[in-house]
Amino acid sequence: MRDKCAACHLPRYSRLAIKFHTPDDTYVFPVRPSQHRIAVYPAARDEVLLAWHESQTDLASQQAAPMLKAALTSHWAQEAKQFESEHRLVAAIGAWREAVKWDAAPKSQEELTRLLALQTSLDRDYFQALKLTENQQYASAAELCESILLRDPSRAEVHDGLGTLRLQLGNQELAQKHWRKSAALDPDNAYGPNMLGWLAYQRGDAGEAVRHYQNADEVYPYTAEINFRWSLAQIGLRKWPEAEARLRKVLEIDPGHVKACQLLGHVLKEQGQAAAGLPFIQRAAKLTQFQDPDILLSLTDALAAAGRRADAAATATNALQLPAVAGSSFAAEFRQRLATLNDR
């Protein structure tokens, strides 16, 4: 055993995150890296001993080998049952594969086949629910997601999707329930806190929205969407420096974020820095090729606040020539700006 230290103390394992379907099998785990934590692994020890005894011809080895196989089979069967009780079905499949490797008894094979069928049906139904959602068949998609969760209540991504479906169907309470469940099941998933923050902001509770976005940012600390929504909540609280910091972070991540450019200009103007905010609104106008009425209105106001009234009037005049402005509510806004500028 002296040259088998790594096999006992740094054993290979199936990397369950990497799995394939083959013509003859499903959820096959071809990648088997070594453990990096040096420790005592009884199952690995038994595998090493079994390999050695099977290479020997003496009576003691012939008697030891079946006992070791039985111990390994029992170990992996217990692991599989524990994983399944925790709704870790892919891990349970991996454990039953190990059990079958040492003893292809009908019972072990039946359990493996059963779990493969269950996991296949769950994944198939989940992708069907995604397709239904894409086709805006929200009620049917929600029903299918509920069916998935009856079989496996631990799937955070299904709770995510079902929360959004419930929101689409007008039930905010159920939407929040599923997003909170998702966050509890998978602390590394920011979808739940992000959506809870957006819902809080939509109903006017900017303070709660900020708390949810802080939680989301702890999971995904460099995301333009989370930081942008966070800035909206800070603006709702009139916390201008905090909103500025979030918007600058958005533009650090995504320099072409049009709305962040526009809002940063507004936020700087609110802090008495209209001239400093003007370049950001000008960038937003350039990014939209001077065709977005809302951004052109912001540009008109920013130019006027910076003391450039002639440029502001020219911007408003040019905007009135756009097809998107003519006949819309923006036309009255631009005419009002022009009248004010001409009065001055």
pLDDT tens-place string over residues 31-66: 989 999 999 999 999 999 999 999 999 999 999 999
pLDDT at 1: 74
| 172 DSSP 8-state letter | H
Determine, yes or no, domain membership for 163: yes
pLDDT at 66: 94
Cα angle for residues 237, 239, 240 (degrees, 5° grid):
130
Instruction: Specify the pTM.
Output: 0.80
**pLDDT, tens only, 170-218:** 999 999 999 999 999 999 999 999 999 999 999 999 999 999 999 999 9
**pLDDT, tens only, 297-312:** 999 999 999 999 999 9
Q: Are residues 130 and 95 in the same domain?
A: no
Determine, yes or no, domain membership for 135: yes
Q: Are residues 92 and 167 in the same domain?
A: no
Where a domain ends, among 159, 189, 219?
189
The residue range of the domain holding 155 is 113-189
Please count the other Cβ atoms lying within 10 Å of the Cβ belonging to residue 115: 22
Residues with Cβ within 8 Å of residue 134, at least 6 apart in sequence: none
Q: Are residues 100 and 125 in the same domain?
A: no
Determine, yes or no, domain membership for 207: no
| 12 DSSP 8-state letter | B
**pLDDT, tens only, 113-155:** 999 999 999 999 999 999 999 999 999 999 999 999 999 999 9
Q: Are residues 87 and 153 in the same domain?
A: no
If you search the block for the tokens 């969407």, which residue do you land on? 225
Q: Are residues 98 and 10 in the same domain?
A: yes
pLDDT reading at 104 higher than 90: no
Backbone angles phi, psi at 4, to 5 degrees: -115, 25
pLDDT at 344: 65
- The span from the CA of 53 to the CA of 85, in Å, is 34
Q: Are residues 98 and 12 in the same domain?
A: yes
Q: Which two tokens stand for residue 12?
A: 């290979």
- The span from the CA of 136 to the CA of 33, in Å, is 42
Mean pLDDT, residues 234-252 taken together? 97
Q: Are residues 135 and 80 in the same domain?
A: no
Backbone angles phi, psi at 28, to 5 degrees: -95, 135
Determine, yes or no, domain membership for 40: yes
Please count the other Cβ atoms lying within 10 Å of the Cβ belonging to residue 36: 6
pLDDT reading at 20 higher than 70: yes
Where a domain ends, among 189, 222, 244?
189
Where a domain ends, among 189, 209, 240?
189
Q: Are residues 25 and 62 in the same domain?
A: yes
- The span from the CA of 79 to the CA of 86, in Å, is 11
Q: Which two tokens stand for residue 44?
A: 């690995």
User: Collapsing DSSP states into helix, strand and coil, what is residue 185?
Assistant: helix
Please count the other Cβ atoms lying within 10 Å of the Cβ belonging to residue 232: 20
Domain count, the chain: 3
User: Collapsing DSSP states into helix, strand and coil, what is residue 169?
Assistant: coil
pLDDT at 343: 80
pLDDT at 216: 96
Q: Are residues 40 and 79 in the same domain?
A: yes
Determine, yes or no, domain membership for 213: no
pLDDT reading at 79 higher than 70: yes
Query: 73: closest CA among 100, 41, 94?
Result: 100
pLDDT reading at 162 higher than 80: yes
**Residue-wise DSSP of 236-285:** HTT-HHHHHHHHHHHHHH-TT-HHHHHHHHHHHHHTT-HHHHHHHHHHHH
- The span from the CA of 107 to the CA of 238, in Å, is 65
**pLDDT, tens only, 252-274:** 999 999 999 999 999 999 999 99
User: Is-contact 179 196, C-beta < 8 A?
Assistant: yes
Determine, yes or no, domain membership for 162: yes
Determine, yes or no, domain membership for 152: yes
Q: Are residues 80 and 121 in the same domain?
A: no
Determine, yes or no, domain membership for 235: no
pLDDT at 134: 97
Q: Are residues 119 and 68 in the same domain?
A: no
Q: Are residues 24 and 85 in the same domain?
A: yes
CATH code: domain of residue 125: 1.25.40.10
